[in-house]
Structure 1
Amino acid sequence: MKNNRRDFLKVAGIAGVGVVSSSMLSSLASCTDSNQGTKAPVVDNETLDPTKQSIIGLYGPWASSLIDNKVPSHSFRNTKWQNIDQWKASANERILDRLGIPDIGGTPQVTVKKQYEYDGLHIEELSWQLPYGRPTEAILLKPANAKGTLPGILAFHDHGANKYFGTRKITRTSEKQHPDIVEHQKKYYSGMAWANEIAKRGYVVLVADAFPFASRRVMMQDIPANMREGLSDKDPENSENIKAYNNWASDHEHIMAKSLFCAGTTWPGVFFAEDQKALDVLCARKDVNPDQVGCAGLSGGGMRTVFMGGLDSRIKCAVCVGFMTTWKDLILNKSFTHTWMTYVPVLPKEMDFPEILGLRAPLPTLVLNDSEDELYTLPEMQNADKILKEVYTKAKAEDKYKCSYYPGPHKFDKDMQKEAFDWFDQWLKV
């Protein structure tokens, strides 16, 4: 019964109003034939001005107009804000309220599961238990034989439509890698494990599985049998099983998002809460200088950088890669290319998306974009850059903000990594 209903809804979604039009045509015809109604205007899609087209049809321009050409109420660009500290206090309070960040306790107790050396690095396999779900697994990397305290990096793995993997996407801990990870790193990172590469420069780097990826993913045994679609948790490392799980997890996103909304929280709020625990763990280490900590990530990791970099002042340097645009871009063009993990209800009236990251001004911030990134339009990436420049200019910190564009599609390649690592060296090794 459930499958039949879902199939019907899929057909309805494809057919649009055609599904119901057969039951309405006769009444509509009689209405117009008897001159009792007004004929609806005919819109010729072949001749419609492309600038008026959107992913939600004729509703796009109206929806965009709700926030377009307006300086949001809690934007530092708004003339009512002249004192940066007063603006930050008010804007932080507002966004924290909108996020609905859950209270998940203090710094978790960390278990060191394993320690070893590989590729010139000291590596620790860590875990900690949050008040809910299975333990979070994490990888810590730093130069072998490092002495004293070092600057720290909270490294965020990407989304990549792959919830089976987490930390492994951006690390390498042995010569043996899963073939899916080899391909993932080749596609997005020039074959590099970027967390390893930045650690080699003299950093303590922490990478933790995000909610709900890898160790934090939704397991089949924990959901009702009628939702499993024949999947199980057996033989999980098989590539076909991983693909099947990731397809299921993608379809499950709207369920997770709706449930979180019903719980009075948001997906970005849960991300932030869990990422903040990882930051607590990193800053509490004796080998880390807590006054020299940065964060970075590609794609979903870039989105997490926006919130963590914008809202936690312990992040002294932030590098957002492949996740910078405006709410307008998502309204009209690109919301369908993004996960449910991105959205914060009501906030767009109060802050444009880049202004979340702008909350960290005047602290150093680097944004790296790909000019052919299929997840955004280039004009709105450029508008986001303009917004952040305005924020940093008003904060009298123009030298602390930089945005660079690289040719090609969505990625964090070797050249982009070099600029990111040089930026960290410039601001954290002082």
Structure 2
Amino acid sequence: MWHPDDYLERLYRRLEEKRKEAASGGLSAAERERLRGRLQDLLGRFEEEEAPLQPKLLESEEWADGITRQRIEYSTAEGLRVPAYLLLPKERTGRRPAVLAWHGHGYGSREAVGLLPDGTPNPGPPGIHRNFAVELARRGLIVLVPEIVGFGDRRIRDEADGEPGSNSCFPIGAALLLAGRTIAGLRAWEARRAADYLLSRDDVDVQRIGCFGFSGGGMVASLSAALDDRMRATVITGYSNTYKTSILARRHCLDNYIPGVLTEAEMPDLLALIAPRELYLEAGTEDHLFPVEQVKEVYSRLTELYQSLGAGESIGLDVFEGKHEICGRRSFDWIASRLKA
């Protein structure tokens, strides 16, 4: 009787009842904008610290399938410089559609472009990221793969020489929480600055920008697409669920916790902010972090919303036989076709 489980369950249910009561009249355009503003408040605001991008080319290499792989860097705020890979497809006539590729937990952006932690080519199987940024570039998209803060080259100095797959999510997240902000908010804001960089290029079509995120990168893709209407098409793989059945069902990285979010919305409510723009969900049948049955429920709920907005053809789902990983059998072609249309 001394365990707090029942108390926590009642707390969740009370918040759920309040959310349902508040949404009983339907999610009007005004309510959607209110929720978008509240989400930004809960994540923390970083706009006042915005710095000029000042992009710099670090290296450039002709790669397989006619792809050019560049390493660049740009600023988001004073003291925040972001390294990123830029993949330019073989076909480069005119302005091209572009995608922000958000990697998950692991050793960072190199994992998404087929490189080992030391930057050399990976001669073995691609791992759970499936070299997805390369696959998107092969389909004719310009692909930007920023190093998400806390991973790879963007760990804190004291942890920079740790194991390649380690991260600095906890110390960065804890420092931001004590400052009234969140690491999820910083990542979502840096996603907006990454889009700013893409839109500053004369080879990018400003009307055809999308994002593709896996796992923790799925969180970045979902939050940034919910807040930034410039994201015309979004793929979320290995993340879309409910907080109840994923984030609260086991111990996750600190970056997944947004203080007070359940007073306003469950995860499907935040994903609904992407509507009626293009959205595709991907889930493995054996994903132990984000259970597939809840992904299906989220998809069903979002499909009803999309249909009510006359955009039933703008949402899709692929459930594949697999674990917590990217599949890509349909999602790669889906985002390429939607952005090229």
TM-score (norm 2): 0.89
Residue 63 of structure 1 deviates from its aligned partner by 3.2
The structure that is strand-richer by fraction is 2
1:251-266 superposed matches below 5 A: 253-266=169-182
Structure whose alpha-carbon radius of gyration is higher: 1
Contact 1:73/1:350 (<8 A) preserved: no
Residue 271 of structure 2 corresponds to which residue in structure 1?
357
Q: 1:374 aligns with which of 283, 288, 302?
A: 288
Q: Deviations over 1:57-103 (max 9, x none)?
A: 344422332334564467xxx242464x3233222111111111212
Contact 2:91/2:140 (<8 A) preserved: no
Cα distance in 2, alignment partners of residues 187 and 412 from structure 1: 9
Q: Secondary structure at the match of 2:57?
A: strand
Q: Secondary structure at the match of 1:186?
A: coil
Q: Deviations over 1:164-183 (max 9, x none)?
A: x3210101379x9558x666
Contact 1:64/1:332 (<8 A) preserved: no
Q: Secondary structure at the match of 2:5?
A: coil
Cα 1:157/1:285, change in 2 over 3 Å:
same
1:8-407 superposed matches below 5 A: 57-68=5-16, 71-72=19-20, 78-81=23-26, 83=28, 85-103=29-47, 104-119=49-64, 120-133=66-79, 135-144=81-90, 146-159=92-105, 162=106, 165-172=107-114, 178=120, 186-189=126-129, 192-220=130-158, 236=161, 241-242=162-163, 246=166, 249=167, 253-330=169-246, 333-334=249-250, 336=251, 338-407=252-321
- Letter matched to residue 340 of structure 1: L
Contact 2:225/2:274 (<8 A) preserved: yes
Contact 2:283/2:318 (<8 A) preserved: yes
Residue 331 of structure 1 deviates from its aligned partner by 6.6
Cα distance in 1, alignment partners of residues 123 and 163 from structure 2: 14
Runs in 1 of length 4+ with deviation above 6 angstroms?
Answer: none
Residue 128 of structure 1 deviates from its aligned partner by 1.6
Contact 1:60/1:332 (<8 A) preserved: no
Contact 1:294/1:315 (<8 A) preserved: yes
Q: Deviations over 1:117-161 (max 9, x none)?
A: 1111122210123434453111111123622111001111111xx
Q: 1:420 aligns with which of 315, 328, 331?
A: 331
Q: 2:324 aligns with which of 410, 417, 420?
A: 410
Contact 2:247/2:256 (<8 A) preserved: no
Contact 2:285/2:319 (<8 A) preserved: yes
The alignment of Structure 1 onto Structure 2 pairs a total of residues equal to: 338
- Which runs of no fewer than 5 residues in structure 2 stay unpaired? none
Cα distance in 1, alignment partners of residues 191 and 217 from structure 2: 11
Q: Deviations over 1:396-421 (max 9, x none)?
A: 322111122111210103xxx13112
CA RMSD of aligned residues (A): 2.6
Residue 291 of structure 1 deviates from its aligned partner by 0.3
Residue 253 of structure 1 deviates from its aligned partner by 4.0
Q: Is 295-304 or 92-101 further displaced after alignment?
A: 92-101
- Letter matched to residue 127 of structure 1: E
Cα 1:316/1:332, change in 2 over 3 Å:
closer
Cα distance in 2, alignment partners of residues 134 and 275 from structure 1: 13
Q: Secondary structure at the match of 1:195?
A: helix
Contact 2:90/2:140 (<8 A) preserved: no
Residue 34 of structure 1 corresponds to which residue in structure 2?
none
Cα 1:352/1:114, change in 2 over 3 Å:
same
Cα distance in 2, alignment partners of residues 146 and 253 from structure 1: 37
- Which runs of no fewer than 5 residues in structure 1 stay unpaired? 1-40, 44-55, 221-230
- Letter matched to residue 315 of structure 1: M
Cα distance in 1, alignment partners of residues 34 and 140 from structure 2: 37
Q: Secondary structure at the match of 1:188?
A: coil
Q: Secondary structure at the match of 1:410?
A: coil
Identity percentage of aligned residues:
25
TM-score (norm 1): 0.72
Contact 2:141/2:336 (<8 A) preserved: no
Q: Deviations over 1:307-326 (max 9, x none)?
A: 01111000000000000111
Residue 280 of structure 1 deviates from its aligned partner by 0.6
